[in-house]
Amino acid sequence: MALLQISEPGQSLDPHQRRVAVGIDLGTTHSLVAAVRHGVSECLPAIDGRVILPSVVRYLDPAQGGSGRQIGFDALAAQVQDPANTVSSVKRLMGRSRAQVSDVDKLSYQVVDQDGMAVIETVAGRKTPMEVSAEILATLRFRAEDSFDDDLYGAVITVPAYFDDAQRQATKDAAQLAGINVLRLINEPTAAAIAYGLDNGSEGVYAIYDLGGGTFDISILRLTQGVFEVMATGGDSALGGDDYDQALAAWVLQQQGVDAVLTASERAAVHAEARRVKEALSSSASETFRASVAGRQIEQTVTPADFEACTAAFTARTMTAVRKVLRDAGVDKHEVQGVVMVGGSTRMPVIRRTVGEFFGSDPLTNLNPDEVVALGAAVQANALAGNSRDGDLLLLDVIPLSLGIETMGGLVERIVPRNSAIPTARAQDFTTYQDGQTALALHVVQGERDLVADCRSLARFVLRGIPPMVAGAARIRVTFTVDADGLLSVAAKEQGSGVEARVDVKPAYGLSDEQIAAMLQESFATAQQDIQARALVEARVDADRMIAATRTALAADADLLEPAEREQFDALMASLATTAAGEDAKAIENATSELAKATEPFAALRMNRGIQQALSGKKLEEV
C-alpha cells in the first residue's frame, strides 16, 4: 500500500529536503552572506576562512592581456596601484545621478552621467553601479552554493532603512544580474533586530543604531513575542565611516600644509591610511599617519581627541537623527531598554560613548556588529524558503516618507503616511474637475510637504476612457500598494465604468542624498508656511469651481433671472476672480461664500424647472 506523505503548511513536500536560502548584507565597505545551518544562523566563510568580503571590484585591461576582474581582498590590495579601475563604496552610487552623489570628486575613479544615472569609467568600459554590485553578489552566491554543494533557492538582501524606491529597485536589479532570486528586501535595522531578538529572547522597545561604511540608520522597534514592529525609522543615506576617514585625511593634510591637488593614487593611499589610523585609535592612545603626497613624505601623530574633534560634526548628525526618530515614535529615550549597535563604524569609542551618554546606559555590543545584519537576514530567508518551523516570526516594517498624489492647484493628497507599516494597501476616492472630462492625469509624489513643488516626483500616468459626466460625478478610486520590499504600485479605477490604469513605480534616478536627509526636517521647519500655502491654494480652487459652476448654470438657464439679478451675479463673479488673484485665503473664502449665497435662489429655480421638464407629458401613474 502506498504511503501518503504529509507536510506542514508552507513546508517542503519532502521533509528531508531543504531549500538553500541565505541572507546577504550588501554593504558599502564590505559584504557578507549568512545561512541557517543546524538551527543556527552563521556567516559563511570563503576558502581562506574569512567571512567578510570587501565591497571592492577591480576591472582589468583587456588590451594588456587582462581578462575579467578581481573582487574582494585581491581588488582591495590593488586600490592604491590601480585606483582608476578599482571601484569601492559603489553602494553610494546606487539609484543616483552623478550630480547627486556627495563628495563624488573625492572618489579615486571617474564617475560620469549616462541616461541620468551615475556610471563608472573603467578600462573594461563603462560599468553601472548595479553591474559592480552584481559582481559582489555573484561572489557571495557562489560562496553559498559551494558551502552547501547545491543551487541557491533565493536570498533576503538587506538595504538601509532610508533607501528610497530608486535605490531599492537598483538593488533588486543587481541581484537579478547576479542570478539571485530575491525573496525579499528588508531594512538593515530590522534584520539586526531579528538576529538580536531571537538570540537574546528580548522584548520591549529597542533602538537600532546602524552606522556602516556609507549609510546611517536609526530605528525604534518594539519586540513582542516574535513580532518585530518598527515604530519609526530615520537616518542619513549619505553618512558613514567613509566620511570619518575623509575628514581625518583632510585634517592631516591641513595640519601638514598640503594644499596641492592629489592624484588618484595619492587619494586612494591617503584614504586607506586614514582608515587604518581610525581603526588603530580604537585601542591605542595615539597613532602616526604616514603617506607620500605632493612629492614628499608626511607624518602626523593623531590622538583620539584629534580624531573626535575633526569628525564631531558627523557624530552630531547621527544624534540629531536619533532625537528626531524618538519624536516620531512617541518614545522618550528613558523608555528604550537597549541600543543595539550595528555596522563596523560603531566600533569607534566616540560613537559608543556618545550613544551611551545620550541613553544613559551602555549600548549592546555582544553580537558582532559586522555580522549581525547578515545573520538576521538569514533567519528571515530560512523562514521564507519554508525551512523554518518557527511560525511566530512576524516583521512589521515601515516606509520612511509619505506617498501621495497631486490634486488641483499643485497640492499633495497623502495616501500612505510616513512610518506606515508595510506591506500595505491604501485607497482614496477622487473625482473629475470639469464637465465631460474623459481622462485623468495622476502624478505620484513622495515627501512631507503640502505642495507638489516641494516633494519628489515618482511617476505619472493617465486614466483614459472615463464616461463623460458633469464635474464631480465620476468616482475614481486610487489605490497605493507598497509591497514587503518597500516598492510601490499605483492603480486608478473609475467605479461606474470599470476603466482602470496602473503603474509600477520605478522612479528615475534623481533624488539627492541631501534631499532625502532634509525632507522631514523641511516638513517641520516649514509647517506653518505649508499650512498657509495649502489654505490659499484650496481657497483659489474652490473659487474657480464656484465661478465655473455659476457660468455653466447661467449659460443654461439665464432666462430665469431678472436683468438686475444677472448683473449682480456678474459683479460677484468678477469680484471673486479679482480676490482669488490675491494672497488672502480668508478673503477668497468670504467672496466664494457670498457668491454661493447669492445664487441659492437661482439654484432653486433651476431645480424646479428640471422637475417640471422631467414630469411634463407624463401621467401620475407613470410617475
What pLDDT shows up at residue 511? 39
Predicted confidence band at 226 (pLDDT cuts at 50, 70, 90)?
low
pLDDT in tens, 67-103: 578 999 999 988 888 989 999 989 989 888 888 787 7
What pLDDT shows up at residue 12? 45
Residue from 188, 370, 530, 538 carrying the catalytic annotation: 188
Residue 152 predicted with pLDDT over 50: yes
Class (C level, CATH) for 399-525? mainly beta
Question: Does residue 91 carry a catalytic annotation?
Answer: yes
Question: Distance between CA 56 and CA 70 in Å, rounded?
Answer: 8
Residue in 93, 92, 91, 86 with CA at minimum distance from that of residue 72 = 86
Question: Distance between CA 16 and CA 243 in Å, rounded?
Answer: 48
Residue 37 predicted with pLDDT over 90: no
What pLDDT shows up at residue 13? 44
Determine the residue type at 172.
K
423: preceding bond cis by omega (within 30 degrees): yes
0.75 cut: is pTM over it?
A: no
Grouping H, G, I as helix, E, B as strand and the rest as coil, residue 267 is helix
Half-sphere exposure of 250 (CA within 13 A, CB side): 11
Residue 25 predicted with pLDDT over 90: yes
Residue in 183, 107, 118, 121 with CA at minimum distance from that of residue 152 = 183
Question: Does residue 324 carry a catalytic annotation?
Answer: no
What pLDDT shows up at residue 200? 54
Question: Does residue 210 carry a catalytic annotation?
Answer: yes
Hunting for cell 447661467 — which residue is that?
Answer: 554
Euclidean distance between the first and the last CA atom of the chain, given in angstroms as a whole number: 75
Is 3.30.420.40 the CATH number for 21-240+313-397? yes
Question: Does residue 151 carry a catalytic annotation?
Answer: no
Cα radius of gyration (the chain): 30
Residue from 25, 245, 406, 538 carrying the catalytic annotation: 25
Residue 388 predicted with pLDDT over 60: yes
Domain extent listing, the chain? 21-240+313-397, 241-312, 399-525, 528-615
Residue from 210, 245, 370, 450 carrying the catalytic annotation: 210
What pLDDT shows up at residue 253? 92
Question: Distance between CA 20 and CA 144 in Å, rounded?
Answer: 8
21-240+313-397 and 241-312 share one fold? no
What pLDDT shows up at residue 395? 60
Predicted confidence band at 1 (pLDDT cuts at 50, 70, 90)?
very low
Residue 206 predicted with pLDDT over 80: yes
Contact residues for 559 (Cβ-Cβ < 8 A; gap 6+): none
Fold designation for 241-312: Actin; Chain A, domain 4 (3.90.640)
Range of weakest confidence among 295-309, 338-352, 528-542: 528-542
Residue from 82, 91, 287, 538 carrying the catalytic annotation: 91
What is the CATH number assigned to the segment(s) 528-615?
1.20.1270.10
Nine-digit cell string for 538: 484650496
Residue 509 predicted with pLDDT over 70: no
pLDDT in tens, 335-354: 998 898 888 899 999 999 99
